[in-house]
Structure 1
Amino acid sequence: MDHAAHAGHGKVGWSMAAQATLHCLTGCAIGEVLGMVIGTSLGWDNAQTTALAVVRAFFFGYALTLRGVLKADVGFRAAFRVALAADTLSIAVMELIDNGVLALRPGAMDAHLTDGMFWGVLAFALFAASLITTPVNKWMIGRGKGHVAVHPYYH
């Protein structure tokens, strides 16, 4: 890939946007699934379970970026700032779409862990969130924002 495209000064391809989205999806999915499983297992109400899932999605999304940046011998504060810059909007969009799909699908928020609807709607919600987040990431990368913040630490 052209380094100018990484810096936001060239044409940004869908492949780069998809890679950024996949990175975001990985952290979000880990956090979202764990949050939903924990909240549902504990019998929490929908608002509590959703809040836990969102907090965990941000945590794991940032943690994945932090892990990579910290490997480049960057201090924690600087690495955390990079993670915030790289992932905040992407995770926020992903969580908004993901939880919006769950909230709008009748019965999804009340489904139990043993119910196929729980897993089916959650998988569909994450898929829909990744589809909508990909053009957002493409737009951000094209402007030198978002996930391009981590590229200097991976090369």
Structure 2
Amino acid sequence: MNHTHTDHAPRTRHVPEPYQDAAAHAGHHAAPGWRTAVTATLHCLTGCAIGEVLGMVIGTAAGLHNGATVALSVVLAFVFGYGLTMRGVRRAGVPLRQAVRVALAADTVSIAVMELLDNTVVVTVPGAMDAGLADLLFWGSLAASLAVAFTLTVPVNHWMIGRGKGHAAVHAYH
């Protein structure tokens, strides 16, 4: 029996809710793999790295206490991480309020894990927080901390995306 479908409903633009189960939304699509998790983590790393580096540079240059420098770095990492996600979602025509919800759903856990890991590395490297901007120790520990954070956050994102959480909230807008 041959079935031809010619009477499709007109296409309308569907903007899914950010907390919608991505697996259900995907329908027949295959479960996301490690490549998706790596891509999501690289996206997250970009925002985190901008904020982290900027916070460490500002805190070190201003002579802030180590705790204040770390706090500034964390705040800026979240600001830039959410900002990058919102930029892409807004380009898809999503209203600002909904774009904020998407960014919160997509990035909060990933950024939090990344920030916990990279700041733990920087703080535990002897002398790294006291090193100046011209010191290799400052930049080396910062680069190493971001590499560790990326490596250990990929499995977290893989697990979350596989369950329709985290960056799965953003994929509906691409």
Q: What TM-score range do you get, normalising by the shorter chain?
A: over 0.9
Q: What is the match of residue 5 of structure 2?
A: none
Structure 2 length-normalised TM: 0.83
Measure, in 2, the Cα distance between the counterparts of 1:35 and 1:105.
18
Q: Which has the larger radius of gyration?
A: 2
Measure, in 1, the Cα distance between the counterparts of 2:170 and 2:37.
13
Q: What is the match of residue 134 of structure 1?
A: 154
Q: What is the match of residue 54 of structure 2?
A: 34
Give the superposed CA RMSD. Answer: 1.8
Taking a change above 3 Å as real, the CA distance of residues 41 and 94 of structure 1, as seen in their structure-2 partners, is: same
State yes or no: 1:90 paired with 2:104: no
Measure, in 2, the Cα distance between the counterparts of 1:43 and 1:106.
18
Equivalent position SS for 2:167:
helix
The residue type equivalent to 1:31 in the other structure is G
State yes or no: 1:148 paired with 2:168: yes
In structure 2, the gaps of 5 or more residues are 1-21
Q: Residues 10-29 of structure 1 correspond to what in structure 2 (within 5 A)?
A: 10-29=30-49
Aligned length: 152
In structure 1, the gaps of 5 or more residues are none
1:7 and 1:148 in contact (8 A); partners too: no
Question: Percent identity at matched positions?
Answer: 66
The residue type equivalent to 2:54 in the other structure is L
Structure 1 length-normalised TM: 0.93
The residue type equivalent to 1:18 in the other structure is V
